[in-house]
């Protein structure tokens, strides 16, 4: 007699475990399907160029809280997170589709404000809104955006391209979006306990913008092309630096070592972390939603990268299969992904 199998909870395996479970038996049938699941975007061979396609959903109560997320900002961010994935393939976004599931609690004015943000993002990143869908919901608002980009086949970069001794580089600074979220959550909790107390958000402008209206790094991809930077591996930082480093190492069959003193952290992030009794390094490693670009280049590109303001070299690719944080004592601590977890 076969005993009933105990159901496995989604919280036990997490988002990436669920993806692996659902996709482990998928095999691509068409030669034009150059890349399927497993990178920032899928890649389709269209002759002289390739199309890259990516989809992300934002769900009320999971990815955003309308108590502190303005609808216009939310519309902008929903487009931005998708074009960021296109840039993470070293491609240029060209079109998007937008689908929303929305409940009757929303006014037409609120949805128009959402689309104002969507249109602004389209203008900012020079993409066309070419379609989508609208359906009713019983539970709130969900936004699904699909972004379509293009690049020559030889220009597309994957997570799997890191090579031994590559320099590990990151654009901008990290941890700000996470700290912005912590400030918003703190003020929300205070207001819910006593709505006579107005939120105190003065002085947090930088980290709040990093959370509510982040920007994709179009400029970095343009720099790659202008300076003919040889990039071997590329990914955007949506789930946290630790998670993305592990993705690159796993897909490339390599390890890495990074140095905490090299990780770029803005002073506003450090100040907020101190105020909330958090370690700014922890927020930079695991916070997520910074939407910076993490990439590796050969040692020969050192001068170009080192001379470019706004890009930091934080470590190097190793033969070992582990991602390691090298402490001040020279000891290595293996990184564990502690970024965004969908379940």
Q: Tell me: do 136 and 169 sit in the same domain.
A: no
**CA-closest candidate to residue 114, choices 57, 58, 71, 70:** 71
Structure tokens at 131: 């379609």
Q: How many residues does the chain have?
A: 343
Q: Tell me: do 139 and 109 sit in the same domain.
A: yes
**69 is a domain residue:** yes
Cβ atoms < 10 Å from Cβ of 185: 14
**CA-closest candidate to residue 114, choices 98, 127, 130:** 98
Q: How many domains does the chain have?
A: 2
Q: Tell me: do 223 and 132 sit in the same domain.
A: no
Structure tokens at 105: 């609690």
**11 is a domain residue:** no
Domain, as residue range, for 115: 31-155
For 59, phi then psi, to 5°, come to: -120, 130
**208 is a domain residue:** yes
Cβ atoms < 10 Å from Cβ of 190: 14
Per-residue pLDDT of the chain (343 residues; tens, 9 = 90+): 455 677 777 666 666 666 667 767 778 788 999 988 889 999 999 999 999 999 999 999 999 999 999 999 999 999 999 999 999 999 999 999 999 999 999 999 999 999 999 999 999 999 999 999 999 999 899 999 999 999 999 999 999 999 999 999 999 999 999 999 999 999 999 999 999 998 999 999 999 999 999 999 999 999 999 999 999 999 999 999 999 999 999 999 999 999 999 999 999 999 999 999 999 999 999 999 999 999 999 999 999 999 999 999 999 999 988 999 998 777 889 998 875 555 4
Q: Tell me: do 246 and 165 sit in the same domain.
A: yes
Last residue of a domain, one of 133, 155, 177: 155
Cβ atoms < 10 Å from Cβ of 182: 20
Q: Tell me: do 149 and 226 sit in the same domain.
A: no
Last residue of a domain, one of 155, 177, 212: 155
Q: Tell me: do 125 and 38 sit in the same domain.
A: yes
**23 is a domain residue:** no
Please answer whether residues 181 and 125 qualify as being in contact, where contact means their C-beta atoms are separated by less than 8 angstroms.
no
Q: Tell me: do 175 and 144 sit in the same domain.
A: no
Q: Tell me: do 78 and 223 sit in the same domain.
A: no
Last residue of a domain, one of 127, 155, 183: 155
* pTM exceeds cut of 0.95: no
Q: Tell me: do 208 and 329 sit in the same domain.
A: yes
């Amino acid at each position: 007699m076969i005993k009933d199998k105990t159901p496995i909870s989604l919280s036990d395996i997490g988002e990436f475990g669920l993806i692996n479970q659902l996709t482990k038996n998928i095999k691509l049938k068409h030669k034009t399907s150059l890349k399927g699941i497993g990178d920032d975007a899928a890649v389709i061979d269209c002759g002289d160029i390739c199309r890259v396609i990516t989809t992300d959903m934002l769900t009320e109560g999971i990815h955003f809280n309308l108590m502190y997320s303005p609808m216009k900002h939310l519309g902008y961010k929903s487009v931005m997170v998708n074009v960021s994935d296109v840039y993470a393939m070293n491609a240029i976004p060209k079109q998007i589709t937008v689908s929303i599931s929305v409940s009757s609690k929303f006014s037409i004015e609120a949805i128009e404000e959402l689309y104002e943000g969507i249109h602004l993002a389209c203008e900012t990143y020079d993409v066309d809104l070419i379609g989508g869908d609208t359906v009713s919901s019983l539970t709130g608002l969900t936004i699904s955006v699909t972004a379509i980009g293009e690049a020559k086949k030889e220009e597309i970069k994957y997570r799997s391209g890191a090579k031994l001794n590559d320099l590990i580089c990151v654009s901008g600074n990290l941890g700000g979006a996470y700290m912005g979220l912590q400030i918003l959550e703190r003020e929300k909790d205070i207001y819910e306990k006593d709505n006579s107390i107005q939120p105190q958000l003065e002085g947090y402008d930088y980290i709040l913008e990093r959370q509510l209206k982040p920007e994709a790094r179009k400029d970095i991809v343009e720099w790659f092309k202008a300076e003919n930077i040889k990039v071997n591996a590329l990914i955007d930082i949506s789930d946290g630096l630790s998670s993305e480093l592990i993705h690159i190492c796993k897909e490339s069959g390599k390890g890495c070592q990074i140095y905490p003193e090299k990780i770029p952290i803005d002073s506003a992030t450090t100040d907020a972390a101190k105020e909330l009794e958090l370690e700014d390094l922890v927020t930079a490693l695991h916070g997520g939603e910074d939407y910076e670009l993490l990439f590796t280049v050969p040692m020969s590109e050192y001068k170009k990268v080192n001379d470019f303001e706004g890009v930091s070299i934080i470590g190097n690719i190793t033969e070992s299969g582990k991602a390691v944080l090298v402490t001040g004592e020279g000891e290595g601590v293996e990184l564990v992904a502690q970024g965004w977890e969908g379940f």
